[in-house]
Amino acid sequence: MSDIEQLPRLHPGRLAALPAAVRRPGYPRDRLRAGIVHLGIGAFHRGHQAEITEAAIEAAGEDGLRWGIVGVSLRRPDTRDALKPQDGLYTLALRSATAQTLQVVGAVLDVLVAEEDPEVVLDRIAHRDTHIVSLTVTEKGYCHDPATGELNRQDRGIVEDLSGATHPVTAIGYLARGLARRMERGLGPVTLLSCDNLAANGDTLRRVLLAFCAQVDPALHDWVAARCTFPNTMVDRIVPRTTPDDVAQVSGALGLYDAWPVVGEPFFQWVIEDRFAAGRPQWEAGGAQFVAEARPFEVLKHRLVNGSQSMMAYMGVLAGWPTTDRVIAQPAVHTFIADTMARETQPTLPPLPGLDVDAYRASLLPRFTNPALGHRTRQIAMDGSQKIPQRLLAPIRDRLAAGQPFPRLALGVAAWLHFLRGYDEAGNAFPIEDPLAPALADAMARAARETEKLFDPRTREQARVRIIAGFAPVFGDLAQSPVFVDTVAAQLEMLCAYGVTGALGRINGAA
């Protein structure tokens, strides 16, 4: 046991012992009730929505006490095991390059593990106190086709859930069965609130859930369609995975052992369509913004923030730069990301009245350079098949439609394809962590086989890109576009010949 683990454990009975600078719950936590069930209680939820729910509870007085959170981990017990001895308390450390603030968050009342207690999870969704079921299950958790947003009926989990298995496997399955219990018990509707980085996340959740319900029970489909709401949202805060060093540093600052703190950047944004079926917390008290339509903000974030992060991640993994601050510190990367945002991505954004997009874009580079976060490129690079369609391929489609060039965005796509080989420029192998990894590996292998006798580099890469882009779940019909194939192939050829640094030097030097 480390010295840090020998400290007294963070617990409600020890909050008074915390240093004065550490914020702590300012409401009677023993009277808090659970109005929110959250599926996927990982670091991002605890560093984003839970913090703002904490502010909403404090701001609303007695009424705020009905908005506690029951978190659900669909598979892994690690968050439950860490937080249960702490009665759900954890520390949020917001770090800039020069400072850190600490806050103990009390909004999470309990954490359930679905694999261990599926009936308890279903009953919690169907509890009369539950008014919102929110999700951060990552893009792959929606069991959808990334290119179309439709339910993937071939997904293994969906197949199992539709087969009538004893307990659900997927988030979609849990939602459907939990809502069926609400309907059977005569309870009111709930709001289903996606907080994941999906295109039209609320609309996507509604589409896949209703498609699932239609196959299970038409009456359930009609009940959900008529009574539940699915607001679209945009979420933004960099929240990297907690490391042992984070645990040690935060616990040392508290003087109490916190087994599972969360680290994040000070920047926060949450844009939500104000369509709630059964009330909501006063999230605006914590800085949330309510709008009639979230899509323009969602596109802004996916393309400028997430698109830049994905390009940095794939280039960083290939070149051996382990964190985004290390990546963006490379002058060639800094120039490339700045130029991509300004010259190729920003022109594809929809109108955003009241927002200075130039200033927003300029604010992103300092966020990426924050060395206190240690945001690992390998973490961002996961699940590329679920991210690339909205982050890079969507703006490429817009530029194709407008007849505009997209060499920098194409280099980002080429970097992902190069990443899918599974080894970096030094020859070090790494696993491809992606729900579509087997199918992508098959496409890559087929492309290699069918092009091995093509000795002209440009011809070979064009053929490779055409074959891989034929993988419709990611690329849709882009393989039919000669401009797309040729542009990505040219960048892939350059990346293969000169490496990340060489390719960046050449594209930055182009007019």
How far is CA 316 from each of CA 151, 380, 500, rounded to the nearest angstrom? 32, 10, 9
User: Alpha-carbon distance 462 to 24, whole Å?
Assistant: 58
* 58-60-64 Cα angle (round to 5): 80
Report the distance separating Cα 8 and Cα 455, nearest Å.
Answer: 66
CATH number belonging to domain 295-510: 1.10.1040.10
The answer to whether the beta carbons of residues 381 and 314 sit under 8 Å apart is: yes
State the pTM of this model: 0.94
Angle at 213 between CA 211 and CA 214, to 5 degrees: 65
404-439 b/e with 16+ CB inside 10 Å = b?
eebbbbbbbbbbbbbbbeeebeeeeeeebebbbbee
- Report the length, in residues, of the chain: 511
Report pLDDT digits (tens) over 343-354.
Answer: 999 999 999 988
**What Cα–Cα distance (Å) separates residue 97 from each residue in 58, 100, 370, 402?**
29, 9, 6, 40
Nearest to 270 by CA among 224, 239, 312: 239
Residues 6+ apart with CB under 8 A from 105: 25, 46, 50, 51, 54, 89, 90, 91, 92
At 183, is the secondary structure helix, strand, or coil?
helix
- Number of CB atoms found within 10 A of residue 148's CB: 14
Q: Rounded to whole angstroms, how far apart are CA atoms 42 and 97?
A: 24
Helix (H) or strand (E) holding 226: helix 218-227
Using DSSP, state whether 322 is helix, strand or coil. Answer: coil
Strand-pairing partners, residue 270, are 235
Tell me the per-residue pLDDT of 127-172, one tens digit each, with 9 for 90 and over. Answer: 999 999 999 999 999 999 998 999 999 999 999 999 988 899 999 9
Q: What is the DSSP letter of 188?
A: P
Best CA proximity match to 480, nearest among 491, 493, 490, 467: 467
According to CATH, the topology of domain 3-290 is Rossmann fold (3.40.50)
Q: Please state, in angstroms and rounded to a whole number, the distance separating the CA atoms of residues 296 and 349.
A: 7
Pairing of β 34-39 and β 233-236: unpaired
Cβ atoms within 10 Å of 43's Cβ, excluding its own: 21
Render 20-62 in DSSP notation, one character per residue.
Answer: TTSB---S-GGG--EEEEEE--SHHHHHTHHHHHHHHHHHTGG
| C-alpha pair distances (Å), 432 with each of 179, 382, 437, 483 | 35, 7, 6, 28
Instruction: Using the CB atoms, write b or e for 471-507: b if 16+ within 10 Å.
Output: bebbbbebbebeebbbbbbbbbbbbbeebbeebbebb
* pLDDT per residue as tens, the chain (511 positions): 678 889 999 999 999 999 999 999 999 999 999 999 999 999 999 999 999 999 999 999 999 999 999 999 999 999 999 999 999 999 999 999 899 999 999 999 999 999 999 999 999 999 999 999 999 999 999 999 998 999 999 999 999 999 988 899 999 999 999 999 999 999 999 999 999 999 999 999 999 999 999 999 999 999 999 999 999 999 999 999 999 999 999 999 999 999 999 999 999 999 999 999 999 999 999 999 999 999 999 999 999 999 999 999 999 999 999 999 999 999 999 999 999 999 999 999 999 988 999 999 999 999 999 999 999 999 999 999 999 999 999 999 999 999 999 999 999 999 999 999 999 999 999 999 999 999 999 999 999 999 988 888 889 999 999 999 999 999 999 999 999 999 999 999 999 999 999 999 999 987 5
Q: Measured at the alpha carbon of residue 341, what is the angle toward residues 335 and 345, in degrees to the nearest 5?
A: 145
The residues, ordered by sequence, that sit 6+ positions from 449 with a Cβ below 8 Å of its Cβ are none
Three-state DSSP class for residue 258: coil
Domain ranges of the chain: 3-290, 295-510
Q: Which residues of 325-360 are buried (b: 16+ CB within 10 A; e: fewer)?
A: bbbbebebbbebbbebbeebbbebbeeeeeeeeeeb
